[in-house]
Chain A
Amino acid sequence: DQQVKQNSPSLSVQEGRISILNCDYTNSMFDYFLWYKKYPAEGPTFLISISSIKDKNEDGRFTVFLNKSAKHLSLHIVPSQPGDSAVYFCAASMRIKAAGNKLTFGGGTRVLVKP
C-alpha cells in the first residue's frame, strides 16, 4: 500500500511557463514533506521542504504548498528552465523513536522543459 503517491508519471512544459507537480499522501502521522530532484546516474538532490505546521514555503523559483486537510502537496516551478528537466520525487517524513527520520517516497514525476 503506497502511502505517498505521485499520480502523474510525466510532465512536459514550455520554457518560461509554470510547472506544477502534485503529490498525495495517506498517513496523517507524516510531519514534514520534502521534494527531491534526480538527474540520471546521480542520487536525489534535496530541493525544498515544508513542515506540517505551514501551508507554503518559497525558495526562489520553487514553491511548495501543503493542504493538510486534503493530504496533498504540490511543487510549483516558475519560470521553468531547460535545466529543470529531471525526475522529481515527493517524500514524507516520520520520526523514528528518539532519533532519525524515515522518508517515504512517491514514485516520481519526470519533467521535461522544452526550449
Chain B
Amino acid sequence: ETGVTQTPRHLVMGMTNKKSLKCEQHLGHNAMYWYKQSAKKPLELMFVYSLEERVENNSVPSRFSPECPNSSHLFLHLHTLQPEDSALYLCASSQEPGYEQYFGPGTRLTVT
C-alpha cells in the first residue's frame, strides 16, 4: 500500500449505530487530519493530530470521536449520528513542519 488509505470506502449506518472510520498513511508523516465535505460546501477541517497529540478540534460535535494510536493510524469513531452528518470524510497526512497535506480517497458516509 502506498500513500494514504481509508476504509471503508462507503458506509451506511443508522442513527443509533456505532461505527469507526480508519485511515492509514504509508508516507512516514507525523501529522494527520480529518476533513468533512458535505454536499455543495467546501472541505472543512475537523481534527488535527501532530505527533499523536490532538492539536485542533474545530468545534466538532462529540458524536465524532477521533483516535490516533500512532503516527500512521487515525480513527474516527461515530456514535448516534444525524442524517445531516452524511458526507464524504477525508483523511490527510503531512510531515511537520511542512505545509503540503496528502489525502486519502475518502469514506462516503450515509446516515439513515
Q: Which chain A residues have a beta carbon within 8 Å of chain B's beta carbons? A: 2, 4, 32, 34, 36, 41-46, 49, 89, 91, 93, 96-108
- B interface residues, how many (CB within 8 angstroms): 29
Q: Do residues B31 and A99 form an inter-chain contact, with CB atoms below 8 A?
A: yes
Q: Do residues B96 and A105 form an inter-chain contact, with CB atoms below 8 A?
A: no
Task: Given A97-B55, A107-B41, answer yes or no on A44-B94 (Cβ-Cβ < 8 Å).
Answer: no
Q: Do residues A46 and B90 form an inter-chain contact, with CB atoms below 8 A?
A: no
On chain A, the residues within 8 Å of B94 by CB distance are 100-101
Q: Do residues B96 and A49 form an inter-chain contact, with CB atoms below 8 A?
A: no
Can you list 25 A-B pairs, Cβ within 8 angstroms, ordered by A?
A: A4-B42, A32-B99, A36-B103, A42-B106, A43-B92, A43-B106, A44-B103, A45-B103, A46-B100, A46-B101, A89-B42, A93-B99, A96-B48, A96-B50, A97-B55, A99-B51, A101-B99, A102-B45, A103-B33, A103-B43, A103-B101, A104-B42, A104-B45, A105-B43, A108-B42
Q: Which chain B residues have a beta carbon within 8 Å of chain A's beta carbons? A: 4, 6, 31, 33, 41-45, 48-51, 55-56, 58, 90, 92, 94, 96-97, 99-106
**Closest A residue, CB atoms, query B56:** A96
On chain B, the residues within 8 Å of A103 by CB distance are 33, 43, 45, 101
On chain A, the residues within 8 Å of B105 by CB distance are 41-43
On chain B, the residues within 8 Å of A101 by CB distance are 31, 94, 99, 101
